[in-house]
Structure 1
Amino acid sequence: MKVRPAHSADVAKIDAASVQVVFTAQTRKNVLVVPVGALLALSEGGYALQRPGGKLVGVKTGLFAKGLVEVSGAGVEEGDVLVTAS
């Protein structure tokens, strides 16, 4: 793979340098995300989120990225207060 600078004049005097490349495989918009540390693995399979009173709410997970995870399911919505390990 070759990486080329957008403005070659910016790097004309550089003989060698480290570069960092980020590839975006997928993106999602308008989804509900929670910290990964809020997920609880259920013994029967799947995941849940815990409310401060201890009640568990089953969720379906989606995309994981940068310490967050997309979640969906009945009973979970924006603004909910959840227990998290991190």
Structure 2
Amino acid sequence: MDASGIVITVTDAALEKAVWFRSRDPEPERLALWLEVTGAEGATFRYNMYLDHLDKACSDDAVQHHNEIAVVIPAASAPMLRGATLD
């Protein structure tokens, strides 16, 4: 993990849902939950959340491992998401 440590908090409920969606893929262990900021209007951000291969993460992206699933936050999004909670 880069992006200077833990970026977001992920609740157990959110992790459970992500693991369930990931389990529907033929190779679930290769997938991570990606969360990125796609735009902003004033102080309000627009987000994109999706499953994609963990090995696509760059060295400066934040990769947080949560039991059964990794969460990837692209480096450009990390400052805007720092301190957020995914629920």
- Alignment TM-score, normalising by the size of structure 1: 0.30
The higher-RCO structure (CA 8 Å, 6+ apart) is: 2
By percentage of residues, which structure has more strand? Answer: 2
